[in-house]
Amino acid sequence: MRAAFLLGGGAPVIKRYMAGTTIAAAGIPVLGSVDAGTDSASIEPMSATAAVGLGSQVGLALSNTGTIADTGMTVESDLFIEVVVNPNLVIGCRANSGTTSGTALTATATTSAQADGTVANGTTTFDNGWLYGTTGGNAGLFRRTEDAAGACAINFVNAIGNGDEFVAVQGFPCGVELGAFESFDLTTDLTEAVADVLSITNDSFAILDIITDQNAATTKTEYLLLANMHLFGSSSLV
């Protein structure tokens, strides 16, 4: 993940915090110390799959710690990292396939044409998901999807041809489904979003936008996120 910008402008506030457990890399979202097993200091890394507690998100790590333990520490600096703590921080988070960071999404070709542009037949999509055309008459266009089989909430303006390719991820900008923020798990190293596996519990972020590169949508699609449960104040979307 990266610190993209602040919603509304201004300068980031960066604090130096002591971590209660090892934070292995920059770009990991961090929480206040909420786990009884790791609450030895101020912060800890977010879980890849578990929902965060109300008001527990602190910000985004800009560095990593050393290896942290309750006993045997010999280097003071190993305990500390810098964190951007603004509640209105917009985080850029790459949309990844699966739990191993750096894995490309899949562009899926339709298996039949759809003249009215309402269904991308043969694609695997998500209820309240994002479907982006990479080839054919709708290349560069996107729609919200309503199910797992390519149905679009609003039709594409051009016919969908047999073999047209699309990239699908879960979630949609400003999407709220059944009264909860849209959810996705994080990769094992906690730096990217698992975009192609449905999650309904880890509603830690609100989706401000989804951006992509038409020529590299499988590797350069990115969520722009705001913390949903920030310790120092709610985002404007909460």
Per domain, the residue ranges of the chain are 2-90
Rounded distance, CA 12 to CA 1, Å?
A: 16
- Kindly report the length of the chain: 238
Q: Is there a contact between 110 and 159 (Cβ–Cβ < 8 Å)?
A: no
CB 44 within 8 A of CB 30: yes
Is residue 49 within 8 Å of residue 193, measured between CB atoms?
no
pLDDT per residue of the chain (238 residues) written in tens, 0 to 9: 999 999 988 999 999 999 999 999 999 999 997 665 657 899 999 988 877 776 689 999 999 999 999 899 999 999 999 999 999 999 999 999 999 999 999 999 999 999 999 999 999 999 889 999 999 999 999 999 999 999 999 999 999 999 999 999 999 998 766 445 567 889 999 999 999 988 766 678 889 999 999 999 999 999 999 998 899 985 444 3
Residue 179 to residue 166: CA distance in whole angstroms:
28
DSSP helix/strand/coil, 56: coil
Residue 59, classed as helix, strand or coil, is: strand
Backbone angles phi, psi at 78, to 5 degrees: -65, -20
Q: Do the beta carbons of residue 206 and residue 180 sit within 8 Å?
A: no
- What is the distance between the alpha carbons of residues 40 and 237, in angstroms, rounded to a whole number? 32
Q: What letters, b where the CB count within 10 A reaches 16 and e where it falls short, cover 34-60? A: beeebeebbbbbbbeeebbeeebbbbb
C-alpha–C-alpha distance, residues 47 and 25, integer Å: 14
The pTM for the full model equals 0.92
